[in-house]
Amino acid sequence: MLLFFYSGESVSFWKTLCLFGYYLINTEQHEIFELFIEQFSLFTHENSINLTRSNFHDFVKTIYGYFSNKENILNSPLAVINLLRMIGILPLEKTNFIANDDNARRLSHMILTKISEKLTLIFKRLDLEQTLLFNTGLAVLMTIEILNNDSKDDSISLLNKVSNDNNQRNQIAYYLFEQLMEIKIPIVRTNWTDLLAMMDSKNLKLNCLDLTTNIYQMISCLEHIILDETDDKIENEIKHIFEEKFRNTKIICKLIFSVYLLMSLIS
């Protein structure tokens, strides 16, 4: 093919995160990776660089393209840790997070599989100063997995296997919950409410009911929230949320709700 330019072309900003990261992980230049991730993070903050939906799409596509082509790199625990930290840097919010992106799902499956294979080794290798970005990155992948109804993985079971030394499991659970609350897509997965048991109940508010898709999940949520029983408004508030959520199944909803309240009065 004829090339009009003889001097190449530029690489877009978020792709430099993928490509420098891949290069340093692939060549096992771990000390230089530390300087790189620090400089990248500083650069994004100093220049307030934002991430669009299409940036996110390109990012997961590029990352998945490179790492799936050389998947054996990810047999190294440190490689998995550093890859997660790269994902953890992304300033994700409701507007740019594409939870159902195909490459994001493939990426999530590939990395979560590696993590479940080498769970103990990875957490043993994790340094304190790597934890924040690692946890954030892991929460992002687990969010993608939980919202994928065709997924073969189970993030909640995986999380349950993480040791809670240094509060590690609870911290990841907290980041995962915050991420799910940020993008606020109701969750079909039945066991997601187990997540709430891993969290400090003071972080749980009634608005977590927004994530539920059935009455059992709602009841399960309510069991984890400490309600101020002296507050008269609470009962009405819960009743209102129930009715909003299950407008079409009003009668049965009311019935179950009454049973629930009755049971909590007895206990």
Partner 1 sequence: MSDTDEDNDENENQTTNGHLTSVNIYALWRSSEREKFKLQAVFDPDIKFDFECVTRLFDGKAQDRYPSVYRLKLNLIQTNNDEIAIKHKKTLHPVEEYQLRLSESAYLVYKSHTKEDTTRMIRDITSPHHFLFNVVFPVSAPGKLNSRNQTI
In this structure, what token pair is assigned to residue 79?
A: 């490689």
- Residue 96 touches partner 1, criterion: CB under 8 A: no
In which residue are the tokens 């187990």 written?
194
Under a CB-based contact definition with an 8 Å cutoff, are residues 137 and 174 in contact? no
Asked whether position 110 contacts partner 1 by CB under 8 A, the answer is no
Binding string to partner 1 for residues 189 to 208, with x set by CB under 8 A, is what? --------------------
Eight-state DSSP code of residue 7: S
Task: Please give the single-letter amino acid code of residue 66.
Answer: Y
Interface size with partner 1, residues (CB under 8 A): 28
User: Among residues 1, 128, 226, 251, which is the contact residue for partner 1, using CB under 8 A?
Assistant: 1
User: Which among 20-28, 109-117, 172-180, 207-215 is the span making contact with partner 1, rule CB under 8 A?
Assistant: 20-28
260 binds partner 1 (CB under 8 A): no
Is 129 among the residues that bind partner 1 (CB under 8 A)?
A: no
Closest by alpha carbon to 156, among 136, 167, 142?
Answer: 142
Using rule CB under 8 A, residue 48 touches partner 1: no
Q: Which is nearer to partner 1, 35 or 227 (CB)?
A: 35
Distance (Å, whole) CA 94 – CA 106? 20
Nearest distance from C-beta of residue 68 to partner 1, angstroms:
8
Least separation in angstroms between CB 17 and partner 1: 8
Burial label, 191 (beta-carbon count in 10 A; 0-12, 13-18, 19+):
middle
Does 216 help bind partner 1 (rule: CB under 8 A)?
A: no
Shortest separation between residue 143's beta carbon and partner 1, angstroms: 25
Of 55, 58, 66, 154, the one binding partner 1 by CB under 8 A: 66
Q: Pick the closer one to partner 1 by CB: 9 or 232.
A: 9
User: Cβ closer to partner 1: 36 or 242?
Assistant: 36
Q: What is the 3-state secondary structure (H, E, C) of 137-195?
A: HHHHHHHHHHCCCCCCCCHHHHHHHCCCHHHHHHHHHHHHHHHHHHHCCCCCCHHHHHH
Tokens of 140: 């992002």
Q: Which stretch binds partner 1 (CB under 8 A): 1-9, 124-132, 198-206, 236-244?
A: 1-9
State the amino acid at position 195 in one-letter form. Answer: L
Where residue 185 falls (left for φ over 0; alpha for ψ -120 to 50; beta otherwise) is beta
Q: Which CB, 24 or 219, lies closer to partner 1? A: 24
90-120 burial, b at 16+ Cβ within 10 Å, e below that, comes to bebeeebbbbebebbbbbbbbbbebbeebee
CB of 49 to partner 1, least distance (A): 9
For position 35 contacting partner 1 by CB under 8 A, the verdict is yes
Which amino acid is it at 236?
A: N
Interface positions with partner 1 (CB under 8 A): 1, 3-11, 13, 15-16, 19-20, 22-23, 27, 32, 35-36, 39-40, 43, 62, 65-66, 69
